Each structure stands twice: as structure tokens, then as C-alpha cells.
A and B are shown apart, each in its own frame.
Chain A
């Protein structure tokens, strides 16, 4: 009687759910998110993108510069002069060597600024630049 009662109370007290499968799942999710997270620094400038029919995905395009309609260059929510773009890009490239460059250009952005920025970034690029556009239609 006593033994039975003890056994029952033990079962109730230590009746714990086996957490191992959940832990497995949580760990796999954790590792997935760690691996896929890319820490994109968004330029944070308000721009209107041009529309393009041939818009395609920018493969690993995670270093993003923006050029506004008045020709200001934005990176990581700050306006930067073109001379500093190289240092910023170099640091970003060191952090993520596989990342490619993206320029978000406003429809009215002057090509002279874009051209200058592209010239600055060119030594660091190992893939063509991705000029951000909106899917047309």
C-alpha cells in the first residue's frame, strides 16, 4: 500500500515531458537562422525605384547603397560622401566576403553620381553590380 502510494506520487511528481525532441528541433532552427542571417544594413533613404521588365534577384546582394534624386549617397541610414563609400564597402566586404553590391538609385538620381560610386566600388566587386529595380507591371 505504502509502496504503491509512493510509486504513484513519484510518477506524478517526476512525470516530466521528454523535452529532447523539442530541443532537437529548436537547435536545428537556431542553427538555420544563425547560418542564414546576413545582417543587411539598409540604406534607409526614401527612393522611387525604376521599373524593369527583366528584374531578377540580386544574388547575395547584401551591401546596399542608395542614391537619392539629389545625388546623395546613403549607406547604413547615414548620408556619406563618395570618398567614404570605399572604406564602408571594404569593411562590409571584409565582414561578408561573399556579399555582392546593390545600388538603389532613385529614378531621378544623376548618373554622374552613380558612375562615380560604381567606379569607387569597382575594385571590390567580383560580380556585376545589381541596380535595384521594381518588377514592372
Chain B
């Protein structure tokens, strides 16, 4: 009797997958819930390696944002809407020109990002933003 039972068991010996399936499903649901498909979008801003490189050299377009959010370019104060056109004009002369935006303490992020955006729109590949100089 016992022997026969064992034989039957051996014949139909299948591993019960139910507990493993439970675990796998719970893991699956966990990872689906945790997977945040949030995609951050933005503009790239580069910090130059050191302040040793002179950003005011002739091959670089320099925009300065003062502490009260004024935008200065080529010793003139210009409007944010004129930044893109001005950079595009300078870039037409020398497409390899670099771009540096300098800020003074007190400026706000929106001005900085608007200038960076305008530069990228004009065709600048990398926006450099050196550290603010201590006064």
C-alpha cells in the first residue's frame, strides 16, 4: 500500500510552483510600483574646470547678469529678447565661439536659465557658467 502510494507520487512528481509564483508576482508588482517613469528635462549647464581659463578671451561670447537681473553684453545692457539675436549674430562670424554666462550674487535663476536657453536656441552647444566671484 505504502509502496504504491510512493510510486504514484513519483509518477506525478511535480514541484508546486504556487508559492514561487506568489513571490514573483509580489516582486513584479513592487518593481512596477517603484519604477518611476519620471523623466527630468532641462538644459545643460557646464561649470568650467577652473577659474584659470580666461572666459573673456576673444573666442568666447560673454554675457554678464548683474545682481539686479540686468543682462550685459559687449558693454551694453540688453533686453532678454535681444540675447538670442545678438548671440546668433556673433556666432555667424565665428561658429566655433564658446559661450560663458557670468552672474553676480543676487541674480535669479530664471534670468540665468533664460539666457542659457537663448544661447542654446542661437546654436551654442555648451553653456559655461563659472563660479561667481567673491567681492
Q: Report A's interface with B, CB cutoff 8 A.
A: 14, 19, 23, 26-27, 29-30, 33-34, 36-40, 42, 50, 52-58, 61-62, 64, 67, 102, 104-112, 114-115, 118-119, 122, 125, 127-136
Main secondary structure of the interface of B (DSSP, over half): mixed
Partner of A56, one of B21, B28, B43: B43
User: Within 8 Å of chain A (Cβ to Cβ): is B78?
Assistant: no
Q: In the complex, what's the smallest C-beta–C-beta distance from B125 to chain A, in angstroms? A: 10
Set of chain A residues within 8 Å of B100, measured between Cβ atoms: none
A55 and B32 alpha carbons, distance in the complex (Å):
28
Sorted nearest first, the 4 A-B pairs with minimum C-beta distance are A33-B31, A52-B117, A107-B110, A105-B109
B47 to A122, Cβ gap below 8 A?
yes
> CA–CA, A1 to B118, complex, Å?
88
Note all chain B residues with C-beta closer than 8 A to A114. Answer: 109, 112
A63: min CB distance to chain B, Å:
10
* Contact pattern, B 103-114, Cβ under 8 Å of A = 1, otherwise 0: 101111111111
Tell me the complex Cα distance, A125–B65, Å. 25
Selected A-B contacts with CB under 8 Å, 6 pairs = A39-B34, A54-B117, A110-B105, A127-B44, A131-B43, A134-B41
Selected contact of A128 from candidates B35, B44, B117, CB within 8 Å: B44
Quick check: which of B54-62, B86-94, B126-134 contacts chain A, the rest being far away? B126-134
Q: A37-B31, A58-B41 are in contact. Are A109 and B109 (CB under 8 A)?
A: yes
Name the one of B25, B27, B44, B117 contacting A53, with C-beta atoms under 8 angstroms: B117
| Chain B count of residues within 8 A CB distance of the other chain | 42
Q: Evaluate contact between A112 and B36: CB separation under 8 angstroms.
A: no
Report B-chain residues with C-beta under 8 Å of the C-beta of A107.
108-110
Residue of A nearest to B101 (CB): A111
Task: Contact check, A52 vs B42: say whether CB atoms are below 8 A apart.
Answer: yes
Bound: A29/B38 CA distance, A: 19
Q: Hey, which chain B residues are within 8 Å of A111, CB to CB?
A: 65, 103, 105-109, 111-112, 132
Given A54-B120, A131-B45, A108 contacting B109 (CB threshold 8 A): yes
Contact of A57 with B132 in the complex, beta carbons under 8 Å: no
For residues 1 through 37 of chain B, which have their beta carbon under 8 Å from a beta carbon of chain A?
12, 17, 21, 24-25, 27-28, 31-32, 34-36
